[in-house]
Amino acid sequence: MFSTTSRQRVHILWFQGLIPYSIAWELQRSLFEARRDNPQLEDVLLLLEHPPVYTLGRGADAKFLQFNPECSDREVYRIERGGEVTYHCPGQLVGYPILNLKRHQPDLHEYLRQLEASLILALAQFKLQGERVAGLTGVWLEGQKVAAIGIQVSRWITCHGFALNVCPDLQGFRDIVPCGISDRPVGSLQQWLPDLTVPDVVPAIIEAFSETFRLDAQLNSIDGDIPEDLWQRLLAGQADSETLTKTQAS
């Protein structure tokens, strides 16, 4: 049983530097599978930036790529999330929540709306009015899409997540039809706030995400490899020293 009287903890891993997509994908899969096997494990949110890479959802149509991946040196992955093709690059903040929705609300549509709400709440901290568009998933600013969302959920454990364009070079989006939407432009927060950077936005995202999902955030800034003790705790639920002390004293 999950407690309904106190806020659960979410471990936030904020990676410094660029994380290749293949590595982030492997980290997600390990955390995702661990929680499918043991739903009692605490929630995790990975925050990072990728080098330039294109990803297609499991049912995505390759016609939305404006290049032949077999004849291109661009990095392309077909993955398990829903949605069409999208582009990741430096200057875009990517968030991968690994949550057990049974702790929150086991409803896929509501989860998507909560992710949108988190992003809109974060943008409001910069006096930017993020908006939803009826029938579509993501967040827009003055008609330009600044955040994309694509998820996978199995046994109510989530994987993949959101990508917020903070200050990226948008050139790479010209090689695709982003999310399969041809009539709505892609934008970035930098168009409204020219000096804004990803580190500026991370605290706002953490606060907004924690508030939306009613979680207490434990931030871990990762520069290089994930510390082994932290990684084992995330995979196996090994008690931290404070929890261990309380258990021994009880």
Type of residue at 189: L
Residue in 89, 159, 167, 179 annotated catalytic: 179
Type of residue at 77: Y
Strand partners, 85: 56
Return the structure tokens found at 240.
């931290």
Return the structure tokens found at 133.
């568009």
List, in sequence order, the alpha helices (H) in the chain.
21-37, 108-124, 198-213, 228-236, 241-249
| Cα–Cα distance measured from residue 28 to residue 157, given in angstroms and rounded to the nearest whole number | 11
Instruction: For the chain, report the end-to-end CA distance as a whole number of angstroms.
Output: 20
Return the structure tokens found at 60.
């995505």
Q: CB-hemisphere CA count at 13 Å for 97?
A: 30
* Catalytic annotation present for 89: no
Q: Helices (H), strands (E): how many in the chain?
A: 5, 10
| Cα–Cα distance measured from residue 240 to residue 33, given in angstroms and rounded to the nearest whole number | 21
| Cα–Cα distance measured from residue 8 to residue 90, given in angstroms and rounded to the nearest whole number | 31
| Cα–Cα distance measured from residue 107 to residue 86, given in angstroms and rounded to the nearest whole number | 24
Residue recorded with tokens 């929680």? 35
CA 56-105-161 angle, to 5 degrees, is: 20
Supply the residues annotated as catalytic. 179
